Amino acid sequence: MQNLEPRRARWLKLRLGILVTGMSVGFATLAARAHELQVRQGSRLREMAEQQYDRDVRQAPRRGTIYDRNHAALAVTVDGFSVTANPRALRRRGIDLVAIGTRLATELSMPADRVLEELRRDVGFRWIKRHLAPDEANRVRAMLRESAYSNASEGLQVIVEPQRWYPNRELAAHVIGAVNIDGSGIEGVEKQLDAQLRGNDTRLRGVRDAMGRLVFAEGLSPSEGSAGHDVTLTIDTTIQFIAERELGAMVRSSEAVGGSVIVTVPQTGEVLAMASYPTFDPNDLAHSTDEGRRNRAVIDRFEPGSTMKVFTVAGALDANTIQAGQLINCYGGTFTIGDRTIHDTHVDQWLTPMQVLARSSNIGSAQIGLAMGSDGLERVFRRFGFGERTGLPLPGEARARFGERRWYDVEVATVAFGQGIGVTAVQLAQGLGAIANGGRLVRPLLVTRVHDATGSLVEEHVPDAGRSAIDPRVARLIAEMLTAVTEEGGTGTAAAIPGIRVAGKTGTAQKAKLRGRGYDEHRWVGSFIGFAPAERPEIVVTVIIDEPAGDDHQGNMVAAPVFRRVTEETLRYLGRLRRSGGPQSVGAATVRPQATTTGALVLPASTPSTQGDAGATVGPVTPSVMGLTARRALATMAAQNIEVDVVGAGLVVRQVPAAGEPLGSDRRVRIELEPGGGAPRPVVDADAGVNESP
């Protein structure tokens, strides 16, 4: 600059100063901005970048499988197909939305305006249609391969997602349940055990490019992750099919509103079948109805009618309120208490407890209930499990509570024969199971095992040990009494099965009016509960038919035939009943057809034999002569070459060995008789209030 003119040198220095100052300011600004971005806003910007490029890809787990007791799949998860759209990508590529939307709607059998509405949204993801049929998925794929639509493949995709499938369609639908479009349980076991079946979502780290396409992902493969647990039920698909077939046929033929059938194992409480009608297809929930999805066996509360007489008589015998041979005044078929008159369909004056059950006497049951009193009758019902839920892993089970207040005498009388009290079908099945298994109340069992995806046992549910409901001797006596219901002169002859002895009870109950007080003369519930074989029960079957049309609404007309067919087919399937010819082996006893009168507790003419575990004969068992006169008891024993020691006079009240127990080598039985079958017990009399029975 020394050689430059002073004026030009000053100007050059000024320019250089300005340049240096500008550069300094620029570098300072750049450094400040870098500090701002990298230090002060670094975390926020990093998260924004990760949201744009690094994404968590949600991998839905495969829902666990539901199996029946024989490991047959009832609910499985399969690969389904769905169509998704990226409307922004379609617009960015200049796709004609009207043309492609119309074609897509045709291939998917959807309204065109609905598809276009989804494609015109300003979003990056929309479901177009989920759970496609295979042919629909193939048609959409073929469309996207066509030259006219190939450039839309980035905006339209057919993806694979887990889909629930029920291979047996309606079979056991009310037990298994169903899932919604997102795979969450909404009915049955699917809902109640949703947490175990669903599993846990797996999140995979992925990298997406500017177009939003997944170009890299690492971590677990789609087949891995926390899959749902597998659940094994006690249901047997064959028995379930039998129950549903017979129930559906009866409901349709009787023009009933609906019905339910439950088949259980009395010793363990295992539910072999639980059928409700009407039903639904869980694969097609869109066409199901609320009525069709309702599991009547656990949700519906109803007045049971005469089936409750079983528990009234059993509780009274267990409490020694009455004796087996005691005569109960039935007042010639009409009995008035307070402002209520009770009628019987059969005109009888005096009946034994067995005859009260066989002839289904309302008045006889009322007398027994009044003898026990309000508190005593409530205690009996509670011992049999009524008034509380059974605890089945099914949603919506009704409690059917009672006993919030003390019953008046009129209520005691009516409740004793099943009017004025609410129960569920599953409660009836549980209560009758306590009689069939010898006196223990065992909770119903539906789920036995839960395994994880590796096959390891997560949960195991064993049969409930139960609690004592009644004395085993009383249970055996009630079982013998209930056989009279299905024999000649009983009210449940339509439930009789040739070759085996059936214990059971009919029920026919009026339903309360929908509006106002009292009962509707045109709405009834017909029912039958029972077990077979009576000597060694294999199954307990409960049948409820709701509002059968016409005059044939009695339990013997609508429910007992269903019981017979379900029981017979189930025992045959289990190998306990031969198809035809000669004596039929049922359980451990050899039984021949035998019809007995309602006035006697008589076993078949050929003495049954008990068997050990290996099937070897241990010896003949003692027939029952409880409640018989000495003459008839001696005749029964003589027919089987049994010597009898007789003590006392009147009716048989005790026998040693007890009925069903092995005979001794001397084939001798001791029977004790008392006048009237035991000491007189108080029964209600219409005129005098309380009267001693003769």
d(CA 371, CA 320): 11
| Pairing mode of beta strands 73-85, 66-67 | antiparallel
Residues in Cβ contact with 487 at an 8 Å cutoff, skipping those fewer than 6 apart? 358, 493, 496, 595, 596, 597, 598
Residues in Cβ contact with 489 at an 8 Å cutoff, skipping those fewer than 6 apart? 358, 359, 597, 598
Burial 201-216 (b: 16+ CB within 10 A, else e): ebebebebeeeeeeee
Q: What are phi and psi of 441, to 5 degrees?
A: -85, 110
| Pairing mode of beta strands 350-351, 340-343 | unpaired
- Structural contact between residues 532 and 584, judged by C-beta atoms closer than 8 angstroms: no
- Structural contact between residues 220 and 59, judged by C-beta atoms closer than 8 angstroms: yes
Task: Tally the C-alpha atoms within 13 A of residue 295's C-alpha that lie toward its C-beta.
Answer: 28
- Structural contact between residues 585 and 622, judged by C-beta atoms closer than 8 angstroms: no
Burial 551-573 (b: 16+ CB within 10 A, else e): eebbbbbbbbbbbbbbbbbbbee
- Structural contact between residues 503 and 482, judged by C-beta atoms closer than 8 angstroms: yes
d(CA 124, CA 682): 82
- Structural contact between residues 103 and 149, judged by C-beta atoms closer than 8 angstroms: yes
DSSP state of 410: H
Closest to 281 (Cα-Cα) out of 131, 75, 447: 75
- Structural contact between residues 171 and 244, judged by C-beta atoms closer than 8 angstroms: yes
Closest to 392 (Cα-Cα) out of 507, 262, 493: 262
Q: What angle do CA 229, 234, 238 make, to 5 degrees?
A: 115
Residues in Cβ contact with 619 at an 8 Å cutoff, skipping those fewer than 6 apart? 609, 610, 662, 663
Which residues are known catalytic residues? 306
Closest to 182 (Cα-Cα) out of 120, 127, 125, 107: 127
Q: What are phi and psi of 591, to 5 degrees?
A: -120, 140
| Pairing mode of beta strands 643-648, 668-674 | parallel
648 in the Ramachandran plot: left (φ > 0), alpha (ψ -120 to 50) or beta?
Answer: left
Q: What angle do CA 465, 470, 475 make, to 5 degrees?
A: 100
DSSP letter for each residue of 14-51: HHHHHHHHHHHHHHHHHHHHHHIIIIISHHHHHHHHHH
